[in-house]
Amino acid sequence: MVKTHQFDAIIVGAGGAGLMAALYASKGGANVAVVSKLYPTRSHTGTAQGGIGAALGNLEEDNPLWHAYDTVKGGDYLADQNAAKVLAEEAIDAVIELEHMGLPFDRTPEGKISQRRFGGHTSNFGDKPVRRACHAADRTGHMILQTLYQQCIKHHVKFFDEYQVVDAIMNNGACAGVVAMQLGTGELTVFHGKATLFATGGWGKIWSVTSNAHSLTGDGAAVVYRRGVPMQDMEFFQFHPTGIYKLGILITEGVRGEGGVLINGKGERFMEKYAPRIKDLASRDVVSRAIYMEISSGNGAGKNKDYVYLDVTPKTVNRYFAEAGDERRITAEDVEKKLPDILEFCRVYLGVDPVKDPMPIQPTAHYAMGGIPTNVNAEAVLDEHWTVIPGLYAAGEVACVSCHGANRLGTNSLVDLVVFGRRGGKNIADYVKRADFVPLPPAPEREIEAELNRIRNGKGKTRPHELRSAMQKEMMQNVGVFREEKGLNGALEVVRELRERFSKDLTIDDKGSTFNTDLMEAWELGCLLDLAEATALAALKRTESRGAHSREDYKERDDANWMVHSLVTRHGSELSPSTAPALTINVNKKVDMSLAEVDPRFAPKVRTY
Ligand SMILES: Cc1cc2nc3c(=O)[nH]c(=O)nc-3n(C[C@H](O)[C@H](O)[C@H](O)COP(=O)(O)OP(=O)(O)OC[C@H]3O[C@@H](n4cnc5c(N)ncnc54)[C@H](O)[C@@H]3O)c2cc1C
């Protein structure tokens, strides 16, 4: 009999979304456990640099409706407009609440929260860039995480750090909790809860060049997917335009917000061609494609002409400010003060000093728009009829509300965490008052225990890193910024073959139980392979280009046929990850309310910037 803990609410993940949900569930009277594979303040939220968007209007006029409009437009009109509206409206008091909790935002001279520009954020329905991103230097996420963690401790949330969730316990279509491995001992533990909220973040590790931390392997999405929960909009994975060349480490869009410009190998500011009005601050999908187009037309920099530059040197920035009649000017001290971490990354990893020289950059796999389908209350839903899965919730990057549609705007993820994390927490607090525990099925740990033993004792010839590199290379090449049918079919075949080897021919070195990272990384690879397959399949089926999904063989957006979300579902009762279950893409999940009916300015248009 494995150790079993019982709590009203189990929150899986201690990033911004998990902590906000835990805080609110606890404030609402629930008895809450947070289960996290990382120590909470090591979560990826802590690396978020640029800012959190909210139409506070501290420096110039702003309006939540404009924020909602930008979110819908940036998402290439696939966003559920009710969710985008909730995001924009509730951002305002969520940010003020963070301030009241003690978050040290940068300030204006009058003492208000300072705001900066970010891609795709405009005033008056696309008129001109607006300062909407609230920031604490370039460490905004770090500050959010620290602030929320302190608040959770204060509100008696119980933390199970370094417990890795490896299975979701479903009983009769309802969620009864999770099975986790205590990493320090290798012991399996059951967490039995009335409500379980997944906030496990993204899965950028599917690709070889990514801004994501090593831990972002999609565990939460994969475990519920294997238990029959569909994955929504997996084809939409955002490539951030400015990753450090080859390393993928993110250079925040805040650099362009401060006036930084993109320059090709010929010294030209090329975004003028692609987005004549807002240039370097167009939305990320547009800028990433522009960079690839510059590179493929021979305008890249360096020996292989395979990167471009991001230039934030005062000399260049001030020249463009002057040319544009913009009265702003920056000095080396401003850059040092506003972007300290970025400067350090570049000096340490590249030997480039961004105050004096431009930084070599390339697009980097960054953010999952897709994931576990939920409604605006963070309840997970099963199908196009919005059928709620009792006891199962999701928030943050692992969830697909979908407020970001086909492409997320910068600063909107941090908003998503606090807005929908808070909604999730509040709803859970209500739910656990009226709900009973779903009974645990007999020996809920049995299946996953067998799978972990299979991996541990595998006598094959293939090591996990070989499969991981092959997957990452294939996904980068054929399921990256540009896609087409042949490459996608090829990628699907490669991923399936890799998964076959994963289930038949694996071997690892460490057979022990204490901090067996060898075992857990192999298990995580299984999650990545499952999600890579779903991503490639969804990308193959969507025969149009929209947001982050750009098909070379279907270049146009096709609103008549594809103004719908995709769901990929794993069928069959065979749940062992060692078999290859059928996948189908089958449902058109419609938006449940459209602001287009209320405001004609929200109706789909061809995007111009
Ligand atoms: C470098 C970088 C910069 C960014 N900058 C910005 C920005 O400026 N503005 C913005 O809006 N967005 C930004 N983003 C995006 C944003 O930071 C993320 O989308 C967001 O932080 C995700 O938060 P989360 O709470 O969903 O998950 P995360 O913060 O990723 O946390 C995931 C949690 O889940 C836990 N976990 C995962 N798997 C398991 C498991 N199997 N068992 C138990 N626990 C598990 C982890 O321990 C962790 O606590 C950035 C992202 C990156 C990578």
pLDDT at 590: 56
Q: What mean pLDDT is predicted for residues 490-514?
A: 95
| SS3 letters across 98-123 | HHHHCCCCCECCCCCECEEEEEEEEE
Cα 438 to chain centroid, rounded: 30
Q: Is the CB of 421 under 6 A from ligand 1?
A: no
Q: Check whether 573 has a pLDDT greater than 60.
A: no
With 0-12 CB in 10 A as exposed, 13-18 as middle and 19+ as buried, what is 96?
middle
d(CA 225, CA 399): 12
Q: Is the pLDDT of residue 522 over 80?
A: yes
Average pLDDT over residues 292-320: 95
Centroid of ligand 1 to alpha carbon of 198 (angstroms):
12
Which of 420, 433, 371 has its CA nearest to residue 589? 371
Q: Which residues, including other chains, have CB under 8 Å from residue 64's CB and lie 6 or more apart? A: 55, 85, 88, 89, 91, 92
Nearest to 21 by CA among 278, 310, 377, 288: 377
Known catalytic residue at 116 = no
Tokens 């939460």 sit on residue: 220
Q: What distance in Å separates the CA atoms of residue 307 and residue 2, rounded to the nearest whole number?
A: 52
- Name which residue sits closest to atom 3 of ligand 1, judged by CA: 48
Q: Is 65's pLDDT higher than 50?
A: yes
Q: What count of other Cβ atoms lies within 10 Å of the Cβ of residue 604? A: 14
Q: Is the pLDDT of residue 386 over 90?
A: no
> Which residue has the least CA distance to atom 52 on ligand 1?
48
Q: Residue 294 corresponds to which tokens in the numbers above?
A: 């510059």
Q: Which pLDDT score is estimated for 564?
A: 86
Give me the helix-helix angle, 64-74 and 81-101, nearest 10°.
120
Ligand 1 geometric centre to CA of 599 (Å): 33
Whether residue 413 has its Cβ less than 6 Å from ligand 1: yes
pLDDT band at residue 575 using 50, 70 and 90 as cut-offs: very low
Give the nearest ligand 1 atom to 250 CA. Answer: 1
What's the gap in Å between 202 CA and the centre of ligand 1? 7
pLDDT in tens, 161-199: 999 999 999 999 999 999 999 999 999 999 999 999 999
User: Is the shortest distance between the CB of 118 and ligand 1 below 6 Å?
Assistant: no
Summary mean pLDDT of the chain: 93
At 73, is the pLDDT very low, low, confident or very high (cuts 50, 70, 90)? Answer: very high
Atom 8 of ligand 1 has which residue's CA nearest to it? 50
C-beta 13 within 6 A of ligand 1: yes
Return the pLDDT at 437.
Answer: 98
pLDDT of residue 371 exceeding 90, the answer is yes
Asked if pLDDT for residue 260 goes beyond 90, the answer is yes
Q: Residue 412 CA: which ligand 1 atom is closest? A: 11
Instruction: Given the residues 116, 256, 284, 570, select the one marked as catalytic.
Output: 284
Listing DSSP states for 184-207 in one string gives TTTEEEEEEEEEEEE-----GGGS
Residue 601, pLDDT > 90, answer no
CB of 45 closer than 6 angstroms to any ligand 1 atom:
yes
Helix (H, G, I), strand (E, B) or coil at 230: coil
DSSP, residue by residue, 342-402: HHHHIIIII---TTTSPEEEEEEEEEES-BEEB-TTSEEE-STT--EEEEEEE-GGGEE-S
SS3 label, residue 79: coil
Indicate if the pLDDT at residue 577 is higher than 80.
no
Cβ of 239 below 6 Å from ligand 1: no
Q: Which residue has the higher pLDDT, 551 or 591?
A: 551
